[in-house]
Amino acid sequence: MTIRTVVWGENVHEQKNKVVAGIYPNGMHNCIADALNKDANISATTAVLQDPEHGLTKERLDQTDVLLWWGHAAHGDVSDEVVERVAEAVWSGMGLIVLHSGHFAKIFKRLMGTPCNLTWREAGERERLWLTSRNHPIAAGLPDSFELENEEMYGEPFGIPEPLETVFISWFQGGEVFRSGVTYKRGAGNVFYFRPGHETYPTYHDANVQKVLSNAVKWAYNPAARIANPTDAPNVPVDVAPEKIEERGPRLHHDGEEGFR
Amino acid sequence: MTIRTVVWGENVHEQKNKVVAGIYPNGMHNCIADALNKDANISATTAVLQDPEHGLTKERLDQTDVLLWWGHAAHGDVSDEVVERVAEAVWSGMGLIVLHSGHFAKIFKRLMGTPCNLTWREAGERERLWLTSRNHPIAAGLPDSFELENEEMYGEPFGIPEPLETVFISWFQGGEVFRSGVTYKRGAGNVFYFRPGHETYPTYHDANVQKVLSNAVKWAYNPAARIANPTDAPNVPVDVAPEKIEERGPRLHHDGEEGFR
Amino acid sequence: MTIRTVVWGENVHEQKNKVVAGIYPNGMHNCIADALNKDANISATTAVLQDPEHGLTKERLDQTDVLLWWGHAAHGDVSDEVVERVAEAVWSGMGLIVLHSGHFAKIFKRLMGTPCNLTWREAGERERLWLTSRNHPIAAGLPDSFELENEEMYGEPFGIPEPLETVFISWFQGGEVFRSGVTYKRGAGNVFYFRPGHETYPTYHDANVQKVLSNAVKWAYNPAARIANPTDAPNVPVDVAPEKIEERGPRLHHDGEEGFR
Amino acid sequence: MTIRTVVWGENVHEQKNKVVAGIYPNGMHNCIADALNKDANISATTAVLQDPEHGLTKERLDQTDVLLWWGHAAHGDVSDEVVERVAEAVWSGMGLIVLHSGHFAKIFKRLMGTPCNLTWREAGERERLWLTSRNHPIAAGLPDSFELENEEMYGEPFGIPEPLETVFISWFQGGEVFRSGVTYKRGAGNVFYFRPGHETYPTYHDANVQKVLSNAVKWAYNPAARIANPTDAPNVPVDVAPEKIEERGPRLHHDGEEGFR
């Protein structure tokens, strides 16, 4: 069975900016999806901001194993309801891969609980990504380092929680460094942030970048059945406690009552 | 200099419930603050939900080194604006200690990015907290385990991100376990969640619990000057890059322009 | 392709103790290997302490994807040379699953860098394992908790480094708790410690335990080619530096010289 | 009370190499100790390889709060017995700060359980250290980045376990990056590795480096009384179990017997 993957694209600069449209005539999301579909284990489709419900209905998310997210100019146009829906899907087991300027996407900030800020410079400088974890599934088949001749710079300090694992660190020609590949778990969902991908450069045409994304989809995929109610906080009444106990002392709640939220 | 500490209390059940009022005639927040003030290094005051801006104005947070948070029945009554203000204070360096039912407080869920859910039972059963990290600053002076004869049960799975460190794990008479003391860092702020503290039991009168709270205040305290703008994402123009570079290729932004958020 | 798995057993108590021999007439290692072989993705064989080189020659480790380790009475009889060989295999990408009393195995202490000590009691008491990470690959298909009616107790504090992830926590009838399933990464190798498995009880006949072990083998398996020289520290001469630089200042070493170790 | 600090130096190149002797006429260890002693909270002395028991007797370690370790050419000359003694001191609560080429010191490899290898180049190139965790106690008072005009390069992949926290990442002129400041906990002891410090450059005279070291000593200091027997694995007999239980089933051990190790 293939991994059902959705590449979500903001699809704004591709429509407005000639440079971006030239590099990605079918949009960045389609470029990425095409690259993923070269892997027989992945079946990728796309969704864009402009679709109804941004293309991310409950039904579609239920059928999505891994979601990739690229956004930049229009983070604020993403509906809070959809963001919460995506967060619940992640908690229930959907994988999420956040790309480049998606560090400021509502969904990434929602799942991190931190500002996710950084320093930046748009100068087409050279970026070199170094593996910090050789043979990590996300780095499988990659050399210890690879270069992107033209990229936007993102610099530390990067306002994220301490990652579960740091997989890549970038060197920039202008003198900065950045944790460019970091993993997290949120509920049953695997989350990976991958830095490169500024829209005015052909980053998603790069073979190493495409390799990282295919690897990341496979890494993020959780084959277990989705958790039905990932936010439930069930009461366990005394008579079904794992060990026999007797109720003691005063209480606030009645049996089977829902707790406060 | 003492650690300027604010104990925030929801102050609802103390007013409405005779049992709670009997155990905490001055409110849980004052009981906790009194306990903290026994330590010469701590100077604790209180704030409650019913205060203007819940007692947590920008000015007060600026003067607060560590904030403790106890809430249960009225999480939904806490204003989103204050929650965001507290989050910014944490990112800038304020310590935060979240107590018991505060696992569902808006501020905790905001900083964790997860549902923070659990199973629960109100039966006055015995809880025994075990240290998993001997001589951790939060556990300083404590035995390897201590008991609370009557407590509410919280059970795993607890819907939190993998902690930075797990300091306590609880055993419950009814058969469950729970990660009762867990640490996080969010921005420059240290965060500690501590499980015990159901309002119908005298938990905050317990000497070991009081010791944990005093220790936790000292652990959470970050003496460095608060970070002024913890969410800033400054542009670093080419001419001030750490290494001399020349701009190359197309760009989206003008010099010194603010990025998209 | 199946995951080439070796179950290493100390094979001492099975030969000396009637109770153990009664429960595991073919040895614990064969019971575990038989259980793993029920999974079509796993191909498990065994090795024992008494084999030449403990059955763990360089050639065999090179052909082993995942190694399981059960030892108890004879940790000291395992040769240091074999321990180092196993450590190198892990660093190069072999998965390692350490079982029960293997917490004191040389290889586990070698990889952890800590005492790996704990408290213990042999009373046939009830153990209940709780998931802390629902739908973790190692917990796939398991309920939120499961019981072993008779087990040895291991109690916290457990002298391990903070795990990458905590997957299971045990509740014991006698009042203790224990982090019973913890993951680590050492080099390119995934490491999992799983607590249950005292030799005088039929633990490895338990369906849930067998499920955990099968899951863990699949989780620990790293399909990437093994890293050839996992301990190398190569010099990168100036003329092959990724960026053009010129040598400056005094130096200790000649070009291409090996560094100090 | 001041933090009793010992700076351990290998003291080999200072004696043999004119360049090193010129920069550190009293030895690197004394340069570092002098810098630390400028901080009123720290009281630093030194010990060297050539001292009896390398200056690290049991008595001295018992009186040491934090140990700094610089070694390079003579790692192999450090006695295994002293290494194990230092490891036990760390587990019992002593802080340890490992410097530069100490990544290959026996004590660091012992505590990490990994090869601790890296790539390297001795070209006097520029290193720029970036904070990844602003206002971390170890980074208190430091700018977001600082430079060392001449340093040896260390490059990723660095063969260490995933750190508890990454505090600094270095950029190198020649194109590499490195996790230059990483924290760990081993038992009750805090461990910090700090990369800069090649002996042919005046790194330990640098004000920012000195600031990091002073900060690190304060961070690593655990004021709790040392754990007496950090490797003990005590039996908890049935009659003193926290909860009343009765012994069931067969057993291997007699009451109060020591377990196997």
Chains with ≥3 Cβ pairs under 8 A against B? A, C, D
Residue B125 domain-assigned? no
Q: Do A260 and B104 touch (CB under 8 A)?
A: yes
CA distances from A236 to A255, B102, B123, B183, C139 (A): 9, 19, 10, 27, 22
What CATH number has the domain bearing residue A88?
Answer: 3.40.50.880
Min mean pLDDT across A82-86, A155-159, B254-258, C150-154 is at B254-258
CA distances from B107 to B71, B102, D208 (A): 11, 9, 36
CA B85 to chain centre: 14
Q: Do D222 and B93 touch (CB under 8 A)?
A: no
Query: Is the CB of D160 inside 8 Å of chain A's CB atoms?
Result: no
Kindly give, in sequence order, each residue whose CB lies less than 8 Å from that of residue A22, ignoring residues fewer than 6 positions away: none
State the DSSP code for C141. T
Chain A residue with Cα closest to D158: A132
Sign of the CA dihedral C234, C237, C238, C244? negative
Chains with ≥3 Cβ pairs under 8 A against D? A, B, C
Measure the CA dihedral C5/C11/C15/C19, to 10°: -80
State the DSSP code for D20. H
Domain of B195, in residue numbers: 3-114+180-220
| Count of Cβ atoms closer than 10 Å to residue B22 Cβ | 12
Chains with ≥3 Cβ pairs under 8 A against A? B, C, D
In angstroms, rounded to a whole number, what is the distance separating the alpha carbons of residues B157 and B238?
49
In angstroms, rounded to a whole number, what is the distance separating the alpha carbons of residues C139 and A155?
37
pLDDT of chain A along its 261 residues, tens only?
799 999 999 999 999 999 999 999 999 999 999 999 999 999 999 999 999 999 999 999 999 999 999 999 999 999 999 999 999 999 999 999 999 999 999 999 999 999 999 999 999 999 999 999 999 999 999 999 999 999 999 999 999 999 999 999 999 999 999 999 999 999 999 999 999 999 999 999 999 999 999 999 999 999 999 999 999 999 999 999 999 999 998 888 766 667 787
Residue C184 domain-assigned? yes
Ranges in chain D, pLDDT < 50: none
Q: Are the CB atoms for D31 and D90 separated by under 8 Å?
A: no
**From the CA of A220, how many Å to the nearest CA of chain C?**
11
Residue D15 domain-assigned? yes
What are the pLDDT digits (tens) for B134-177? Answer: 999 999 999 999 999 999 999 999 999 999 999 999 999 999 99
Name the pLDDT band for C239 (thresholds 50, 70, 90): very high
Q: Which of residues 203-222 of D touch B (CB under 8 A)?
A: 222
Query: Is the CB of A23 inside 8 Å of chain B's CB atoms?
Result: no
Token pair 């002024």 in the structure block, residue: B228
Mean pLDDT in residue range C174-184 = 98
The confidence score (pLDDT) of residue A250 equals 84
Residue A92 domain-assigned? yes
Point out the residue among A133, A175, A177 whose CB comes nearest to the CB of D169: A177
What are the pLDDT digits (tens) for C29-73? Answer: 999 999 999 999 999 999 999 999 999 999 999 999 999 999 999
Dump strand ranges (E) for D15-74: 42-48, 66-70
Min mean pLDDT across A178-192, B209-223, C13-27, D172-186 is at C13-27
In angstroms, rounded to a whole number, what is the distance separating the alpha carbons of residues A108 and C28?
47
Mean pLDDT in residue range B191-215 = 98
The confidence score (pLDDT) of residue B146 equals 98
Query: Is the CB of B162 inside 8 Å of chain C's CB atoms?
Result: yes
Q: Do B130 and C176 touch (CB under 8 A)?
A: yes
Residues of B in Cβ contact (< 8 Å) with D227: 134-135
Give, in degrees to the nearest 5, the angle at Cα C134 between C130 and C136.
110
Q: D260, exposed or middle or buried, with CB in 10 Å at 0-12, 13-18, 19+?
A: middle
Residue B16 domain-assigned? yes
Q: Are the CB atoms for B194 and B100 separated by under 8 Å?
A: yes
Give, in degrees to the nearest 5, the angle at Cα A224 between A223 and A225.
120
In angstroms, rounded to a whole number, what is the distance separating the alpha carbons of residues C193 and C219?
12
Residues of B in Cβ contact (< 8 Å) with C172: 171
Q: Quick check: B254 pLDDT over 80?
A: no
Interface confidence, given as ipTM, is 0.96
Residue B98 domain-assigned? yes
Token pair 């001055």 in the structure block, residue: B26
DSSP states along B85-151:
HHHHHHHHT-EEEEEGGGGGSHHHHHHH-S----EEEEEEEEEEEEESSTT-GGGTT--SEEEEEEE
Q: Which of residues 53-82 of D touch B (CB under 8 A)?
A: none
Q: Do A119 and B233 touch (CB under 8 A)?
A: yes
Residue A252 domain-assigned? no
Structure tokens, C180: 């019973």
Residues of A in Cβ contact (< 8 Å) with D128: 175
Residues of A in Cβ contact (< 8 Å) with D165: 162
Q: Do C130 and B166 touch (CB under 8 A)?
A: no
**Structural domain total, chain C:** 1
Residue C67 domain-assigned? yes
Q: Do B187 and A119 touch (CB under 8 A)?
A: no
Kindly give, in sequence order, each residue whose CB lies less than 8 Å from that of residue A192, ignoring residues fewer than 6 positions away: A95, A96, A97, A98, A138, A167, A181, A182, A183, A184, A216, A219, A220
